[in-house]
Structure 1
Amino acid sequence: MKPTSTSPGSRALAASLREVRVARGKGLRELARMVRILPQLLSAWEKGQRVPQPEDVARLLGALRVDDLTYDRMMRLARHARDDNWLDSNPSDLPPALNGIVEYERTATRITNWYHAIVPGLLQTPDYARAILSNSEIGLEQADSMLVVRLNRQRILTRPDPVRLTALIGEIAIRDEIGSPDIMSDQVDHLLQMMALPNISLRIVPANIGYHPGLIGSFILYEFPGLPAIVHLENSHATAFLHEAEVVGDYAKQAKILSRKALGEDDTRALLREVAR
């Protein structure tokens, strides 16, 4: 069965439904019986093959006896599951935005990202990630939770069938000190180690090369087998997931422009070794 919706929200909702059911220790058939629906329908919802109505999600959450916080964020996701483009204006909550990111990373075959001023999350060391999170406008408890999630996400790069990652990084990201000199040295060493993996292409876009579209902001492009690509944009107060073909195509063009301006991999290694000294 093909998905009835390929929107970012619908795919994140499917992942969240599975996650909540498993966390509550309920089997698929058991939960379907509790809410009096066919197991095949619940399975289709959890696979993203069909999109449940908000009232259907409310019945599932009621049967699972979830807490108020989980109920509110799941219902917010359910109400926007069919939106072509999904904007989450409260990204400090782990879900639903982060839940969507985890699902996109898990199911993508290729990820292309451009980060102008910081190292991408998938390539961050624990100390570097912690330095960023602990200096963000979030509590320490939430920073700890986000760090665990971030490090778990990195497994997609080393699993048996790894995601292919193209990382385009601004030179400022490796020269600006985040945390301490030791943290930055370890981070740069880590980038060199990750470049040795056959599924990772990492290239530095030099500073002081004049204007290019990457100066406007960072972005991540997720590509999937048999499904439309998704672009992820994020700033300090909002997270957007863009799905329209024309918009995604514009960001794919930006990635090509940045790729032409980036150093080759050998020159990138040489620059990283220079910075690490």
Structure 2
Amino acid sequence: MSASLREVREARKFGLRELARALEVDPRLLSQWELGIRVPPVEEVARILGYLRVDRTVTNRLLFLAQHVKDPNWLDSNPSDLPAALTAVMQCERSASLITNWSPLIIPGLLQTPDYARALLAASDIKVEEVDVRLVSRLKRQRILSGYDPVRLKAIISELAIREVVGDADVMSDQIDHLLRLAVTSNISVRILPGEVGYHPGKGGMFALYEFPSDPAIVLLEHHHASAFVNELGAIASYRKLVKLLSGKALSEEASRALLQEMAR
């Protein structure tokens, strides 16, 4: 539903702030509705569609979705084909000016090779017939890192994730070579956090911090069967501190490339 709201607005050639002014809605709130981070009330969906003069078929479909969508608690545990949480992630990635990834156990999705991604998906509880759909979606997401005005990405990856064999040795060799190629790209920073570093709060799990040109930052937390979006200011500040802590423990970009090159031999 969130992506559809954005599509109908753009199809009518309305800017986000322009529509927000017309509806007397906070543009940050409207942005969150379109990103799928917050679910708009049914009456607000109806008001948006009415103002944009959307046809009855589309209106009925979107109103049905608005009426039956799960109550938002920043959680989505729907493992279906392309769940709402994944749509929101894609919107965040496309809109962000800077993404900071912390990955303690696996290579971040935006930096994965097709074979590495397929091995991960095949080892999960995703149905076999859905693996290809997820794989294509994941690879399409990586396009934000290339082309005109690419998104900046800061990836802090645990050495454990680099040494953990996903697929087989050939898959991992190709994945490390891929990281080395990306690590010299001007908009991508890859830093490895050594395995011998003791306990730190980052071991609690992976997260992504999305920074936007004009909207408040958002943190994505990911787990096996659920994902959570956080935008409360105090929580965001806590994750910024965690990024600073992890950055202080990680190898420099040059030392990280040297470690990757050593592993690639």
TM class by shorter chain equals 0.7 to 0.9
- Provide the C-alpha distance between the structure 2 equivalents of 1:74 and 1:198, rounded to a whole number of angstroms: 45
Of residues 34, 37, 42, the one that matches 1:54 is 42
1:28 Cα deviation after fit: 3.9
Deviations 1:189-211 (A, max 9, x none): 00000011101110000002111
Of residues 241, 252, 264, the one that matches 2:229 is 241
SS at match of 2:135: helix
- Provide the C-alpha distance between the structure 1 equivalents of 2:206 and 2:178, rounded to a whole number of angstroms: 21
1:123 Cα deviation after fit: 0.2
Structure 1 pair 91–227 and aligned structure 2 pair: CA distance change class (3 A)? farther
Of residues 168, 171, 189, the one that matches 2:177 is 189
1:15 Cα deviation after fit: 2.5
Alignment check: 8 A CA contact 2:104 2:157 kept: yes
Amino acid at match of 2:30: G
Alignment check: 8 A CA contact 1:61 1:71 kept: no
Greater displacement, 136-145 / 170-179: 136-145
Q: In structure 1, what is the equivalent of residue 89 of structure 2?
A: 101
After TM superposition, the structure 1 = structure 2 runs for residues 218-257 of structure 1, keeping only pairs within 5 Å, are: 218-257=206-245
- Provide the C-alpha distance between the structure 1 equivalents of 2:255 and 2:79, rounded to a whole number of angstroms: 36
Alignment check: 8 A CA contact 1:54 1:75 kept: no
Amino acid at match of 2:194: P
Alignment check: 8 A CA contact 1:113 1:168 kept: yes
The normalised TM-score by structure 2 is 0.81
- Provide the C-alpha distance between the structure 2 equivalents of 1:50 and 1:214, rounded to a whole number of angstroms: 27
Amino acid at match of 2:151: V
Kindly indicate whether residue 73 of structure 2 is the aligned counterpart of residue 76 of structure 1: no
- Provide the C-alpha distance between the structure 2 equivalents of 1:122 and 1:18, rounded to a whole number of angstroms: 23
The unaligned stretches of length 5 or more in structure 1 are: 1-12, 30-39
SS at match of 2:155: strand
Amino acid at match of 2:91: E
Greater displacement, 134-143 / 168-177: 134-143
- Provide the C-alpha distance between the structure 1 equivalents of 2:204 and 2:257, rounded to a whole number of angstroms: 26
SS at match of 1:119: coil
Q: In structure 2, what is the equivalent of residue 143 of structure 1?
A: 131
SS at match of 1:94: coil
Amino acid at match of 1:209: V
The normalised TM-score by structure 1 is 0.78
Structure 1 pair 63–28 and aligned structure 2 pair: CA distance change class (3 A)? farther
Alignment check: 8 A CA contact 1:14 1:48 kept: no
1:75 Cα deviation after fit: 4.2
Greater displacement, 140-149 / 235-244: 140-149
- Provide the C-alpha distance between the structure 2 equivalents of 1:96 and 1:49, rounded to a whole number of angstroms: 16
Q: In structure 2, what is the equivalent of residue 209 of structure 1?
A: 197
Deviations 1:120-158 (A, max 9, x none): 000000010000011111112222111111101101110
SS at match of 1:202: strand
Of residues 118, 121, 133, the one that matches 1:130 is 118
1:86 Cα deviation after fit: 1.6
Of residues 51, 74, 94, the one that matches 1:86 is 74
SS at match of 1:48: helix
- Provide the C-alpha distance between the structure 2 equivalents of 1:111 and 1:102, rounded to a whole number of angstroms: 12
- Provide the C-alpha distance between the structure 1 equivalents of 2:55 and 2:78, rounded to a whole number of angstroms: 22
- Provide the C-alpha distance between the structure 1 equivalents of 2:190 and 2:32, rounded to a whole number of angstroms: 37
SS at match of 1:197: coil
Alignment check: 8 A CA contact 1:91 1:98 kept: no
Alignment check: 8 A CA contact 1:91 1:97 kept: no
SS at match of 1:227: coil
User: Over aligned residue pairs, what C-alpha RMSD do you find?
Assistant: 3.0
Amino acid at match of 2:184: A
- Provide the C-alpha distance between the structure 2 equivalents of 1:50 and 1:177, rounded to a whole number of angstroms: 37
Q: In structure 1, what is the equivalent of residue 58 of structure 2?
A: 64
Deviations 1:134-188 (A, max 9, x none): 1111112222111111101101110211111100000011111100111100000
SS at match of 2:30: coil
1:67 Cα deviation after fit: 8.0
